[in-house]
Structure 1
Amino acid sequence: MTRSGSKATFSRQVATAVPNKASARTQLAATASVLGLRQVNGVLPNNRIGIAAGRGLIAGIMAAFGPTLPGTFVSRVNSGGVHGEWVRAAGVRHGDKAIYYIHGSGYVVCSARTHRGLASRLSKATGLPVFVVDYRLAPEHPFPAAAEDAAAGYRWLLAHGYRAGNVVIGGDSAGCHLTLDLLLQNRAAGEPQPAGAFMFSPLLDPTLTLAERRDRILPDPMAPAWVGRRMIEHYTANEPVDSPRLRLQIPAGAVLPPLFVQASAGEMLADDAQTLRAMAEAAGTPCELQLWPGRIHVFQALPLLVPEAAAALRHAAAFVTSTLARANSPIQEQVG
C-alpha cells in the first residue's frame, strides 16, 4: 500500500496497485446489468410499491453475489436508540479495536442485513469485529435522520469502551457521504476522530450532477442517474441543495483522518471519488484513491459477480491495519 503525495506520484502508484483491465466476467456482468438491472430500476414507480420492490431487488442481489461467509457470528444491537449488528468472521473475537461501517443505500434501500456478507469479508481480512449501523431510511425518515443515526452509532462505540484511535470507519455510496459528514461534524464540535476512514464508490454530490454527466457518456449498470437522484430526494426532502450538511466541503487546513477511496473507473460515481480526493488533498487531508477497471458500483460487496472484489478488499484491509498501527504508535500517541 502506498499513499499518493502528488498527482504524478499517484498515477504511477495506481498502475502498480490495481489491474489495468477488468476481467471478462466483470465486463460481462456490467453489460448484463445495463440490459437488465438498469432497465428494471428505470421503470420502478416512485412510490411505496416501487421502493419496496427496489429494496427487495437489491437485497436479493447482495445475498446472491455477496453471501455471508460460513461460520460468521452476528449479534444484533438495540441500545439507546442505536440499532445495528456486530459481524465477526470465524475465529475473530472482540478486542479493543473495531471497524464501524455505514452502509450505502441512496438513503432509501439496504440495511445492516444486506451488508452482512461484505462485513464478514472485512472482518476476515482485518481480523476485526465490524459494527454495521442500521440507520433510519427515507422516505419514512428524511434528512437529517440518517446522519443523526450514523453519529449516534459512533458515539455509542466510544461510550462502550472503544477509543477513537482504535476505530476505523468504513462506508459505501451514500454511507460515504454520511461518513464524511460525521468527520466534519466531529471536527466542528472538537470530538475525537477515528484513526481513518475507507470509502467504496463514494457519493459526494447528492444532486448527482457529476454522475449524470458521466452516465450520459457511459450508462451505469446499476441505474440511470436520474433514478439515483429521485431516490436521494426522498432523503434530502425540503433541505436546500446547497445546505452545508449536503454539499459537503472540507475547509482549507482542515486535516481530517487519513482517507482511502476505491471506485470502479467506469461507474457514474467515479467523478465523485476523484473530486473527493482533490478536495481532501487541497485541504491537507491525506487521501489515497484507487480506480479499479470496470463499471460495477460497490463491486467489493459482490465477489461472486466481480472477481476483483477480493483483491480490492485486501487493499482496504491493509489500509485499516496500517492506519490503526500508526494511530497507536508511541510517537503518534505522544503527538496526540
Structure 2
Amino acid sequence: MPTHPTRRGTTELPPRGLLQSRAAATVGGFTLRPLSGLLPAEQFWGVWAARQVIAGVMDTFGPSLSGTRVEPVDVRLADGRRVVGEWVYGRGVPGNHDSAIYYLHGSGYVLCSPRTHRRLTAWLSRLTGQPVFCVDYRLAPKYRFPTAATDVRAGWDWLHTELGIAPDRIVMAGDSAGGHLAVDLLLQPGVPHPAALALFSPLFDMTFGLARTRDALRRDPAISPRDAARLVGLYCGAADMAHPGLTLDVRNGRRLPPTLIQAGGAEMLLGDARRLHEDLRAAGADCELQVWPDQVHVFQALPKLSPEARPAMHSATAFLAEALHRNTIADVAG
C-alpha cells in the first residue's frame, strides 16, 4: 500500500523578512491596495483592468524561466465534461506522465489563469523534476459557483482515469482561491487523494471574516478584505454561503493527505492559513504551517520582488518530491 510522507523536520524561517521584501510590502500599501479599491469589480472594464494589472505584476516580478515547455490541453472526458489547461515542463523535465503535479491557480475566482502562474508552475516542475498540469477553470463573473469547482474535479478525474496516473503518483498544489478549490475537492466523498498537498496563501473563509480580523492588526499591502470579498462575490453570486462547497467543514470531513501550508506575515489571509492548519490537524491530518515574516500574498510567484521566494519554493518542492519518492518506494516494495 502507498504511504504518506511525514515531515521529519521543519524549515527554519528567518525572524524578519529581508529589507527588499519589507520595502515591497510598504510600497504595495501605497500603490496596489488603493488601486484595487478604485477598480469597480461590478463593471466589465473594472474586471478587465484588474486582470491587466495582475498580469503585469506577475510578468514583471515573476518572469518566465528559460527552457520551459508548454503543451495546451483541451479535451473531453468520456462523460462529456471538458478539461482545459496546460502541461508545463521545466527545463530538462521529460514529457512522460507516470507522475505529476496538479496545480490550481489563484484568482479570486476572477482574475488569473495558467498563463499568469506559469513562472510558479515552471518552477515547481524544474525543482521537482515533475510535469505540472495547471487547469484553466472558468472564471467569474461570466461563470459562477460551482463552475470552477466542477472544472477542477474534471481535471482531477482526467488525470487519473483518462491518463491513468495513479492518485498516489500525483501531488497537488494551489494558491489563494486555488487552495480553497483543492481542499473542497479532497473533502468530497469518493475522490481519491493525492500523495500530498502544498498550499500557498490559501483562501479558507469565503466571508473574509478572518481576513478582516487579521487586516485590523496589519493592513494587507495588496488589497483590502472588502475589495477581495467583492471579487469573490462575483463567483458566489446568490449562492448560500453555508453550502459545503463554500464553507468547508474540514474538522468534521475526510482526513486529508499530508499538507504543507505557506503564508506571508504581511497578508490578510494569514488568519485563513492558521485556521485551516488548526482544522486539518484537528481532523488528524499531518500538516505543517510556515509563516514567512513580512511576505505578501503568494510571494512564491514573485521572486524578483521577494528574495524569500526561493527558499520557500525549495521547501515546498522538497516536501512534494519526498511524497512521490516515498510512495514510489512503497509501490515497489508492495
Identify whether the pair has TM-score above 0.5, normalized to the shorter chain.
Answer: yes
Aligned to 1:282: 282
Aligned to 1:107: 109
Matched, 1:61 2:63: no
Provide TM-score, normalisation by structure 1: 0.92
Amino acid at match of 2:323: T
Aligned to 1:9: none
Amino acid at match of 1:273: A
Residue 291 of structure 2 aligns to a residue whose secondary structure is: strand
% same residue: 46
Mapped to 1, the partners of 2:332 and 2:144 lie a distance apart of 39
Amino acid at match of 2:57: I
Aligned to 2:175: 172
Mapped to 1, the partners of 2:257 and 2:289 lie a distance apart of 15
Amino acid at match of 1:66: G
Q: CA deviation at 1:171?
A: 0.2
Q: Is the 8 A contact 2:295 2:306 kept in 1?
A: no
Matched, 1:142 2:137: no
Matches for 1:1-336 after TM superposition, within 5 Å: 3=7, 17-46=12-41, 47-80=43-76, 81-95=82-96, 96-158=98-160, 159-185=162-188, 188=189, 190-252=190-252, 254-330=254-330, 334=334
User: Which string of whole-angstrom CA distances, capped at 9 and with x for unpartnered residues, describes residues 107-148 of structure 1?
Assistant: 000000000111111111111111111000001000000000
Q: Is the 8 A contact 1:252 1:284 kept in 2?
A: no
Amino acid at match of 1:35: F
Q: CA deviation at 1:31?
A: 0.4
Mapped to 2, the partners of 1:254 and 1:333 lie a distance apart of 27
Provide TM-score, normalisation by structure 2: 0.93
Mapped to 2, the partners of 1:2 and 1:279 lie a distance apart of 18
Mapped to 2, the partners of 1:253 and 1:33 lie a distance apart of 37
Residue 17 of structure 1 aligns to a residue whose secondary structure is: coil
Structure 2 residues not aligned, in runs of 5+: 77-81
Q: Which moved more, 1:109-118 or 1:321-330?
A: 321-330
More helix by share: 1
Q: CA deviation at 1:260?
A: 0.8
Amino acid at match of 2:87: W
Q: CA deviation at 1:222?
A: 1.0
Q: Is the 8 A contact 1:220 1:295 kept in 2?
A: no
Residue 64 of structure 2 aligns to a residue whose secondary structure is: coil
Residue 123 of structure 1 aligns to a residue whose secondary structure is: helix
Mapped to 2, the partners of 1:30 and 1:191 lie a distance apart of 39
